[in-house]
Amino acid sequence: MTAVSRHYVLAAGGTGGHLIPAFALAVELERRGHHVALITDERGAAIPGKPDTLPAHILPPGRIAGKNPVGWVKGGKGVLEGRRMALRLFESFNPAAVVGFGGYPALPTMLAARAAKIPTVIHEQNAVLGRVNRMFASRVDAIATAFANVDRLSPKQQGKVSLVGNPVRAEVLALREAPFPPFTEDSLLRILVTGGSQGARILSEVVPDGLAMLPTALRSRLQVIQQCRAEDIEAVRQRYASHGIPAELATYFENMAERLAGAHLFIGRAGASTIAELTAVGRPAILIPLPIATDDHQAANAREMASAGGARSIRQNKFTAGELAKQIRAMAQRPETLANAAHAAWNCGYPNAAADLADLVESFGGAPLMDVIRVGAKPAAVKKKEALARESVE
């Protein structure tokens, strides 16, 4: 527990990918005796997992219009309104620092924090700097990253980087010290398949047939747990039934920790939280990065785990049933190969991510800063010019 209790504002929006690390940081800061408020949008407010103690301030809808800062200022009535809302919150809540996790709500909040001269930190969940984070990377006080190599950071910005990792849910982290599930040449081979929070059709199309192509010695031991999109689930069920492979299917598994605990091998997308969970628990994976992810960030996310030997990354255009069967054979035919890959995945984990991020944020806990906050205050440069003009008249 810290002796001083401070206030912090976190801003995150859109997907669980941005919100889950924000929730984890809120829990850790509150555990240390601080008060935390969240700024998000309607979509973010609907994401499950928000701690009950964390007040959420919902911004009016808005979007990032264009690739550069000029784009959003031009199209950004919502941005200006959001900025005003954030400034009002800062006036009453008096935060010692503001942390942006990316997504639209981080944009007006970080603009407000800059205007109010409140220390700012960004956290980047992916191995490529996201759009909102890119806008602020040169101006924030610190940049927290989840991967050792993050693309799109300039050498100067690199100087402000602290590698902390992506915080994961407590129940997932709790599995880190549990042993890999027993796996021998006769035991079950339990495969977990997910396509991120939305599911992925390509997995429904390829995985059942790929598993059916495995040699009988592996195929007869399979047990599949697969997330499918609602519109695909029936076809996938029939496919597995026709191959005689036992499979449990759902559109979303709520108890992901339990599923990961029992899995020997993961097949799926390379979203930031998925990678963080696989490496926290130490599960080997075959990753098929989403090809349309902005700046190909899922392929970048898969890099670290793949080069360490914890995963194989397959481009979607090469992801066929035959290729999948070949990769599974290479990974799982010999139990020790799978165990080694699991260990390599485990070594890529960042189990202290929430605590390390909280340490970084706490290092910006100065004196109250509200005296510098004035909504609509003139920028320092304008004030200086006016003062000089007055002097020259006097």
Ligand X SMILES: CC(=O)N[C@H]1[C@@H](OP(=O)(O)OP(=O)(O)OC[C@H]2O[C@@H](n3ccc(=O)[nH]c3=O)[C@H](O)[C@@H]2O)O[C@H](CO)[C@@H](O)[C@@H]1O
Minimum CB–partner distance for residue 220 and ligand X (Å)? 26
Site for ligand X in 126-145 (CB under 6 A): 126
- Quick check: 273 binds ligand X (CB under 6 A)? yes
Question: Residues forming the annotated binding site for UDP-N-acetyl-alpha-D-glucosamine?
Answer: 15-17, 126, 169, 197, 298
Sign of CA dihedral 234, 238, 244, 245: negative
Site for ligand X in 242-261 (CB under 6 A): 252-253, 256
Closest CA to 180 of 336, 47, 16: 336
Which residue in the block uniquely carries the two structure tokens 């290729």? 323
Instruction: Give residue 65's region: left, alpha or beta (phi > 0; psi -120 to 50).
Output: beta
Residue closer to ligand X (CB basis): 97 or 203:
203
- Single out the segment in contact with ligand X by CB under 6 A; choices: 33-41, 64-72, 297-305, 377-385: 297-305
Length of the chain: 394
Site for ligand X in 1-40 (CB under 6 A): 15-18, 20
Across-strand partners of 161?
143
Please pick, from the candidates 109, 120, 133, 298, the single residue that binds ligand X as defined by CB under 6 A: 298
Please pick, from the candidates 36, 245, 272, 287, the single residue that binds ligand X as defined by CB under 6 A: 272
Instruction: Give residue 132's region: left, alpha or beta (phi > 0; psi -120 to 50).
Output: alpha
C-beta of residue 345 within 8 angstroms of C-beta of residue 277 = no
Number of residues that bind ligand X (CB under 6 A): 25
- Quick check: 316 binds ligand X (CB under 6 A)? no
C-beta of residue 26 within 8 angstroms of C-beta of residue 10 = yes
- Quick check: 227 binds ligand X (CB under 6 A)? yes
Please pick, from the candidates 271, 284, 310, 349, the single residue that binds ligand X as defined by CB under 6 A: 271
Residue closer to ligand X (CB basis): 9 or 299:
299
Site for ligand X in 69-98 (CB under 6 A): none
What string marks each residue from 158 to 197 as x (binds ligand X by CB under 6 A) or -?
------------------------------------x-xx
Q: Which residues of 324-335 are buried (b: 16+ CB within 10 A; e: fewer)?
A: bbbbbeebbeeb
C-beta of residue 87 within 8 angstroms of C-beta of residue 361 = no
Distance CA 307, CA 297 (A): 16
- Quick check: 214 binds ligand X (CB under 6 A)? no
Residue closer to ligand X (CB basis): 20 or 331:
20
- Single out the segment in contact with ligand X by CB under 6 A; choices: 35-43, 239-247, 268-276, 356-364: 268-276
Residue closer to ligand X (CB basis): 256 or 361:
256
Strand blocks (E) in 228-331? 247-250, 265-268, 285-287, 311-313
Q: How are strands ordered across the β-sheet holding 265-268?
A: 247-250, 222-227, 189-194, 265-268, 285-287, 311-313
Minimum CB–partner distance for residue 118 and ligand X (Å)? 24
- Quick check: 120 binds ligand X (CB under 6 A)? no
Interface residues with ligand X (CB under 6 A) are 15-18, 20, 125-126, 194, 196-198, 227, 252-253, 256, 271-274, 277, 290, 293, 297-298, 301
